[in-house]
Amino acid sequence: MLEIVSVTYLMPSTLEGPSITLPASVPRSTPAPVSSSGKSTAKKRHLPRAEKMAAQNAHYALVLEAAQTVTRIFERRELSCAVFGSLAAKLYGSSRVPKDVDLLVSQEVSSPEERPLTAAELKELVINSDPRHFYLKLPRDPAAEYRILWYRQEYKGPECKVDILVPGSVNLPRLPRHRVMFLSPRAEHDDDTLNGEESRIVGGAVIPVVPFALLLAHKLQGWDDHRRAEESHYKEKQHQDAADVRRLLGLRREMKLVMDARRSLCNVWNDKDLFSEDFERLTYLRVKIYCAAFPDREAEWRSLGFETVECVF
């Protein structure tokens, strides 16, 4: 016999106040079927396009809010910071909606005795500055010593991850303050959006972002790292990385700025503020490997000053 229960829920926007009691006709939910590996085998419900767009716009608004909030915390303490990764790509004009915030925090040291804060200490600084919105989570690996920073609008509300990295991590440079770009989230007037929802959520605040050349080279590095990964869940990410690189190569304005710099005898790929010698060398090699996998993109890379030759990988 089907067991009927009455369940009382608190409103998600507050821990106090009125509650909602579901009618007694609501049956107790049954657990979703799982496979031998412990993963759910239940089919995901495919949302209608309008609902999917609304959900994406809502999460993008949350990511922007997280980025603006965390960068203000560092700027108030005169710590140079800049967004990179998928959010930076979106701010430059890429179409993919980012899921989280990747942030490079550079620190100037005035004396040999002074040391820059570690990533863990920077996370603690953020939490101490705004404990209402930021908190730490344990990683999936129980043996890992690090903690993951998350942002939320309210307790048990929507959330997004905020990755904080310091110079030296994954070939990220110590980015001088004067090299940081400041971009406003662009409004997208698309008939597929819900009544221009995205044009309302982005607001007018600017967000510090790494230079386009560094972003492109770093996205290319992500593709190369993931295609060579042994773990299947990391290797699978190479396809999204390749698509991200393709979208960046399709941004005409930013590509033109890099090409114009080349014509003025300024080799952006030899910029010591952005590229170490090792990162520069690897970038030239990765371009050749990428073009071997995607030969239809050779023209874009050549326009940026790269040699593209046949490469077996």
For the segment 104-163, what is each residue's pLDDT rounded down to a tens digit?
999 987 777 788 999 999 999 999 999 999 999 998 888 888 999 999 999 989 999 999
- Residue holding tokens 């982005």? 202
Answer with the one of 210, 237, 271 that is the final residue of a domain. 210
- The predicted structure's pLDDT at residue 65: 96
Tokens of 36: 């031998």
On whether both 88 and 186 belong to a single domain, the answer is yes
- Single out the residue of 237, 97, 109, 80 nearest to residue 172, CA to CA: 80
pLDDT at 48: 86
Would you say residue 6 lies in a domain?
no
Residues 151 and 222 placed together within one structural domain of the fold: no
Closest-CA residue to 167 (of 157, 158, 179, 156)? 179
Are 105 and 208 in contact by the 8 Å Cβ rule? The answer is no
In a domain, 132, yes or no: yes
Q: So what's the pLDDT on residue 43? A: 61
**Residue ranges in the chain modelled with pLDDT below 70:** 1-45, 187-204, 265, 310-313
Distance CA 161, CA 176 (A): 25
Total count of domains within the chain:
2
pLDDT computed for residue 187 by the predictor: 55
Q: Residue 283, Cα to own-chain centre: how many angstroms?
A: 21
**pLDDT score recorded for residue 34:** 54
Model pLDDT, residue 119: 96
Last residue of a domain, one of 168, 187, 210: 210
Q: Last residue of a domain, which of 154, 186, 210?
A: 210
Q: What is the structure's pLDDT at 30?
A: 47
Q: What is the pLDDT of residues 80-103, one digit of tens each?
A: 999 999 999 999 999 999 999 999
| Same domain, residue pair 68 and 200 | yes
